[in-house]
């Protein structure tokens, strides 16, 4: 196994457990990155010859190496994948009664480059790095062996693969995979698109935040903005919402969201919502139109995509978060509840709090924060990597000042 030698002092983050090595941290005079093949295993060495662990290398990427073990000569291979996937599965089985969860969460499970969502007997995986891509067959085999899955879909269509010099693709890697499936979450049943859905099909990370928001849904008109397939709205319908309005730019997503709301509203029983209003189009324009119509909602859930995907987009993205929150607050009834979220790792929790604070002040409203949400436990946080602690939400009661 080759060695990758770091410049003096650049091993400090790795010593406390961080998993990423950046190209400018490598002593390229002693170990040229061009000498490594994409995905090749290497022992990482500091300037003094001490080894903080084993990694895989991609000379074409800014993150040129990702640690896979704190031991020497311990490369990512079939045996290590079996161990890590088995460990990840044991955590989820302790957390959930049904096999519907994020099974592997990249660095959070010491599986950098591998994300897997489980839908019963079907797994949807996303491989985002050259080192994990080299191990695709071994990873799929380990997943099938651990779970007994009958189908594994690779949703390798994320833009981050291009940063690793990898092609985008969507393909069935094992067995057969349905276009849609049903999952159980918080007592609700959802139809989820797998082959044509967003990312890996569902956003398990919001499970706990959806359940908390639903506490305030009974008898209320509910607005679910950036709804995708209606996760917040359908959970609210199951809790007894009087009506649910859904907003998303994707017509297929809105149509499926309406179906999910109806199904879970009927499950509530007599008095439960049996209809939903789906609005397809730009969320900002839709919220502005609802404001012009004078609409008010007792519960408003705002769960936008990551407006800040790169640090250089921070200013523009922050403006989008601010505008979205202001428009959403205009639609909250006096004394109603507002849920605001961000999945951007480049917007920290305090920045989102300031967004809410400034939006409420601008609209001459008083916000009373009653919950601060995080990603679910099936998205474990690596304590040395703030990048893995990405989901933030605030649930607040809103009053006219």
**CB burial class (10 A; 0-12, 13-18, 19+) of residue 73?**
exposed
The answer to whether 122 and 144 are in contact (CB under 8 A) is: no
Buried b (16+ CB within 10 A) or exposed e, 231-258: bbbbbbbbbbbbbbbbbbebeebbbbbb
Q: At 315, phi and psi to the nearest 5?
A: -65, -50
- CA distances to 10, 48, 103 from 18, rounded to whole Å, are 11, 19, 21
Residue 23, C-beta contacts closer than 8 angstroms, at least 6 positions apart: 33, 59, 61, 62, 63, 64
Nearest CA among 178, 213, 191, 201 for reference residue 260: 191
Residues 6+ apart with CB under 8 A from 171: 153, 154, 156
d(CA 221, CA 299) in angstroms, rounded, equals 7
Residue with tokens 């941290």: 25
Say what angle helices 251-268 and 231-238 make with each other, to 10 degrees.
10
* Catalytic choice (64, 104, 188, 343): 343
> Cα 234–204–220 angle (5° rounding)?
25
Tokens, residue 25: 């941290």
Is 343 annotated in the active site?
Answer: yes
Q: C-alpha angle 155/158/163, rounded to 5°?
A: 135
Residues near 37 by beta carbon (within 8 Å), at least 6 away in sequence: none
* 65 closest CA partner among 108, 110, 19, 30: 19
Contact 380, 91 (CB under 8 A): yes
- Give yes or no for a contact between 331 and 325, defined as CB atoms under 8 angstroms apart: no
Backbone angles phi, psi at 346, to 5 degrees: -90, 0
Residues β-bridged to residue 398: 336, 367
Instruction: State the catalytic residues.
Output: 343
């Amino acid at each position: 196994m080759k060695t990758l030698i770091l410049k003096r002092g650049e091993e400090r983050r790795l010593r406390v457990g961080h998993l990423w090595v950046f190209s400018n941290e490598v002593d390229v005079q002693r170990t040229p990155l061009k000498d490594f093949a994409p995905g090749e295993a290497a022992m990482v060495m500091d300037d003094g010859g001490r080894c903080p662990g084993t990694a895989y290398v991609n000379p074409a990427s800014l993150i040129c190496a990702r640690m896979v073990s704190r031991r020497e000569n311990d490369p990512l291979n079939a045996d290590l994948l079996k161990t890590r996937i088995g460990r990840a599965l044991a955590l989820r089985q302790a957390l959930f009664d049904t096999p519907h969860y994020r099974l592997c969460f990249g660095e959070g499970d010491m599986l950098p480059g591998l994300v897997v969502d489980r839908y019963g007997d079907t797994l949807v995986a996303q491989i985002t790095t050259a080192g994990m891509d080299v191990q695709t067959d071994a990873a799929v085999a380990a997943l099938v062996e651990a779970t007994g899955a009958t189908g594994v879909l690779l949703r390798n269509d994320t833009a981050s693969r291009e940063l690793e010099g990898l092609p985008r693709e969507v393909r069935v890697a094992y067995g057969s995979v349905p276009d849609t499936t049903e999952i159980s979450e918080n007592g609700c049943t959802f139809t989820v698109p797998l082959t044509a859905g967003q990312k890996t099909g569902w956003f398990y990370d919001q499970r706990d935040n959806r359940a908390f928001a639903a506490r305030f849904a009974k008898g209320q008109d509910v607005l679910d903005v950036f709804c995708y397939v209606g996760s917040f709205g359908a959970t609210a319908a199951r809790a007894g919402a009087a009506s649910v309005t859904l907003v998303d730019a994707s017509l297929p997503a809105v149509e499926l969201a309406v179906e999910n709301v109806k199904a879970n509203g009927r499950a509530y029983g007599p008095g439960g919502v049996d209809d939903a209003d789906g609005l397809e189009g730009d969320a900002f324009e839709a919220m502005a139109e609802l404001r012009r119509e004078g609409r008010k909602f007792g519960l408003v859930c705002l769960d936008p995509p990551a407006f800040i995907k790169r640090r250089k987009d921070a200013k523009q993205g922050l403006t989008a978060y601010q505008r979205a929150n202001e428009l959403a607050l205009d639609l909250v009834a006096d004394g109603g509840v507002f849920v605001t979220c961000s999945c951007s790792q480049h917007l920290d929790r305090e920045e989102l709090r300031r967004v809410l604070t400034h939006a409420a002040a601008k609209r001459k409203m008083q916000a009373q924060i009653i919950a601060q949400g995080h990603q679910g436990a099936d998205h474990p946080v690596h304590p040395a990597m703030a990048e893995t602690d990405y989901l933030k939400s605030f649930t607040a009661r809103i009053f006219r000042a």
